[in-house]
Amino acid sequence: MLRFAKRFENLSGSVVREILKLTQQKDIISFGGGMPSADSFPVEELAQLAADTFADHGAQMLQYGTTEGYQPLREWIAGWLQAKGWKVTVDNILIISGSQQGLDLTSKAFLDPGDQVVIESPSYLAAFQIFSSYQASYLAVPSDDEGMRMDELEKVLANNSPKLMYTIPTFQNPTGITMTLERRKKLIELANKYNVIVIEDDPYGYLRYSGEELPSLKALDTEDKVIYMGSFSKIVAPGLRVGFAVANQEILGKLVIGKQASDVHTSNLSQQIIYRYCSQGMLEPHVEKICATYKAKRDAMLAAMDKHFPKSVTWTKPEGGLFIWCTLPEGLVSTELLKEAVEKQVAFIPGAPFYLNGQGQNMLRLNFSNSEMASIEEGIRRIGEVFSKAVSR
Ligand SMILES: Cc1ncc(COP(=O)(O)O)c(C=O)c1O
């Protein structure tokens, strides 16, 4: 018998990845995965930048690098954030292999078995896997259309002593909701008062299609309580695995120690490519371009939902990001309806895995970035048929 570690006892592979396997049949219209559109990847530009990197610094790039990350990229990111008004220097930036790694390193640095982590409910299920692998226990705080509920958060903080709080305040996964400015300020006030470290996970914040940009929690942070996770996955390409953590130097020092143990440093080639892409002025026009495409897809999906979904179904109207969150009448079970949808060659992700307490049975997540514009209405029409049939039953 193999004797695995206790911390892996209650962990299984991602439920969603299992569902996604189902939906990878040819000809299926999938609103399932949370992926950016592969058509959006600037393949030729990135290939050229890779070639330039080999030509300019081949041997150096193939050598080990520093754990903190490629210095010019760290400097570029610091400048980018300073231009948004953040009080950061290059010493506050750690390059990570995607924001996913940042969540892992933060957990590794802070969590002992049994430590409490506050999560907003629903939330990104891969984060649950990470916290659980460090044997965390959870304090779930409900959310509404304005993000995590601060009255509930205060109750939780007053009665417990969590070390970490995890939130995706902008274009949340799975709901697409953005936390209001008032709640952002309140969250910082509570984090200070109760001495909790906040992980601000922000892979979607740069993808805004309407409404006003809000300051990040990190920009509002007054006592260095926030660790910000940024990522190039959704604005350039996830396969490069480049993200960045922003935190005070004491925290960052711990993350660096954790990263040394886990992968030494993020791929030099990927960092070079991202650095060149950003410093040569390609990022901003690219983000503008993908935002225009995703906006059109979001609008097409929302319009199709208006047209084809029964009146008893409700959904969020996100100002950015990749997801719409849908609520069916109480009693309907989205996992069951997914089976019917897959028979009609269309798929979504059921809501329950985004909760830790069995809630979300009548909810589901729709992704609009990774489908062909032309198939969005048809996919929604088929899902609408499944919903209408279920409602009338
Ligand atoms: C909320 C959230 N955090 C983190 C990640 C992981 O991103 P990265 O590719 O930067 O590791 C994702 C990816 O879908 C996500 O939705």
pLDDT at res. 101: 98
Indicate the CATH number of 6-30+285-392 among 3.40.50.300, 2.60.120.620, 3.40.50.980, 3.90.1150.10: 3.90.1150.10
- Is the CB of 167 within 6 Å of ligand 1? no
pLDDT tens string 191-212: 999 999 999 999 999 999 999 9
Token duo for residue 363: 């909810």
Residue 101 CA: which ligand 1 atom is closest?
11
pLDDT at res. 12: 76
Q: What is the mean pLDDT of residues 71-84?
A: 97
pLDDT at res. 291: 97
pLDDT above 90 (res 224): yes
- Is the CB of 207 within 6 Å of ligand 1? no
- Is the CB of 34 within 6 Å of ligand 1? yes
pLDDT tens string 264-301: 999 999 999 999 999 999 999 999 999 999 999 999 99
pLDDT at res. 1: 87
pLDDT above 90 (res 82): yes
pLDDT at res. 22: 67
pLDDT above 70 (res 31): yes
* Cα 113 from Cα 125, distance rounded (Å): 19
Cβ burial 141-180 (10 Å sphere, 16+ → b, else e): bebeeebbbbebbbebbeeeebbbbbbbbbbbbbbbbbbe
Q: Which of 214, 199, 202, 388 is nearest to 310 (CA)?
A: 388
Q: Where in the chain is the domain with CATH 3.40.640.10?
A: 43-279
Of the two residues 350 and 15, the one the predictor is more confident about is 350
Question: How much is the mean pLDDT over the chain?
Answer: 95
- Is the CB of 156 within 6 Å of ligand 1? no
Task: Tell me which CATH code domain 43-279 carries.
Answer: 3.40.640.10
Q: What share of the chain is helix, strand, coil (3-state, %, to 5)?
A: 50, 15, 35
pLDDT at res. 11: 81
Residue 231 CA: which ligand 1 atom is closest?
10
Q: Which long-range contacts (CB under 8 A, 24 or more apart) does 16-24 make?
A: 16/125, 16/349, 16/353, 19/338, 19/347, 19/349, 19/350, 20/349, 22/342, 22/347, 23/342, 23/347
Residue 238 CA: which ligand 1 atom is closest?
9
Distance of CA 235 to the CA centre of its chain: 12
Radius of gyration of the chain (CA): 21
For residue 324, list its beta bridge partners: 366
Q: Checking DSSP bridges between strand 29-30 and strand 346-347, what pairing results, if any? A: parallel
pLDDT above 90 coverage of the chain, percent: 90
Q: Report the predicted TM-score, pTM, of the whole model to 2 decimal places.
A: 0.96
- Is the CB of 172 within 6 Å of ligand 1? no
Residue type for position 348: F
Cβ burial 205-236 (10 Å sphere, 16+ → b, else e): bbbbbeeeebebbbbbbeeebbbbbbbbbbbb
Query: Probe ligand 1: pick from 14, 41, 99, 242, max atoms within 8 Å of CB?
Result: 99
The most confident of the ranges 20-24, 91-95, 342-346 is 91-95
* Cα 150 from Cα 148, distance rounded (Å): 6
Query: Probe ligand 1: pick from 173, 204, 267, 270, max atoms within 8 Å of CB?
Result: 173
How many angstroms is it from 100 CA to the middle of ligand 1?
Answer: 6
pLDDT above 80 (res 15): no
- Is the CB of 371 within 6 Å of ligand 1? no
Q: What is the mean pLDDT of residues 16-27?
A: 71
- Is the CB of 98 within 6 Å of ligand 1? yes
SS3 166: strand
- Is the CB of 100 within 6 Å of ligand 1? yes
* Cα 248 from Cα 92, distance rounded (Å): 6
pLDDT tens string 141-174: 999 999 999 999 999 999 999 999 999 999 999 9
pLDDT at res. 9: 82
Q: What is the DSSP letter of 324?
A: E
Q: What is the DSSP letter of 10?
A: T
pLDDT tens string 301-341: 999 999 999 999 999 999 999 999 999 999 999 999 999 99
Give 364: exposed, middle or buried? Use CB within 10 Å, 0-12, 13-18, 19+.
buried
CA angle 234, 237, 238 (to 5 degrees): 75
Residue 233 CA: which ligand 1 atom is closest?
9
Token duo for residue 365: 């997540």
pLDDT above 80 (res 23): no
Binning pLDDT at 50, 70 and 90, where does residue 25 land?
Answer: confident
Query: Probe ligand 1: pick from 124, 128, 200, 263, max atoms within 8 Å of CB?
Result: 124
